[in-house]
Amino acid sequence: MPPAEIVRLPPPRFEGPLSVEQTLLARRSVRTFSRDPLTVDNLTQLLWAAQGITHSQGYRTAPSAGAIYPLELYVIVGHMVGLATGLYRYRGREHALDAKSSRDLRAEMSAAALNQRPVERAPVIFLFTAVYERMTTKYGRRGVRYVDMEAGHAAQNVCLQAVALDLQSVVIGAFQDAAVKQIALLPAEEEPLYIVPVGK
């Protein structure tokens, strides 16, 4: 797979089988996943929930101070029906993916995350990163707090959407930053914030 390949995703749906209250009630951190694959339809909903566009002016599913949107979102695909194994960057405005690598990076990412098994076993891993300078240019040091808050909003959206899809998730913040940056081919200005494995 050429690194510059763009993968178009099916459009997200805006109605589901569960209410917000039901997803909140059912959400749990799950660290054991089956070997069952996810589908592209699952992925499209999860990505949209995390950083999807909800307004013609570019507003997203998660709030951002000043509508600056410092977050970037990557997905590591290990086992999925309809999408090849690899590392992808989400392009929210186009609801599409940039293919960055065709390798299965789950084992390496697990090692960087202090050998946490969910990272290796989940069929899909979401990686939230941030360009802090986007926020601190306007808000100074307090912008760091705004970025961290935004990452929490977006990760929670993934967890709740997972429940609505009859999937499970866990949020992971314990990892070696430099190793994750190298594995995910992150540019120098991007910092990894959150790893969210999702599966059945």
pLDDT digits (tens, 9 = 90+) for 119-142: 999 999 999 999 999 999 999 999
Determine if residue 41 is left, alpha or beta; phi over 0 gives left, psi from -120 to 50 gives alpha, anything else beta.
alpha
Please tell me the predicted confidence (pLDDT) of residue 1.
42
Please tell me the predicted confidence (pLDDT) of residue 197.
98
Instruction: Give CA–CA dist 123/77, Å, rounded.
Output: 6
pTM of the model: 0.94
Out of 2-11, 57-66, 96-105, pick the least confident.
2-11
- For the cut 70, the answer to whether the pLDDT of residue 3 exceeds it is no
Q: Which residue has the tokens 């705004």?
A: 146
Q: What is the mean pLDDT of the chain?
A: 95
Instruction: Give CA–CA dist 67/137, Å, rounded.
Output: 13
- Residue 197 near residue 162 (C-beta atoms within 8 A): no
Q: Rounded to 5 degrees, what are φ and ψ at 101?
A: -160, 150
Question: Could you give all domains of the chain from N- to C-terminal order, each with its CATH number?
Answer: 6-199 (3.40.109.10)
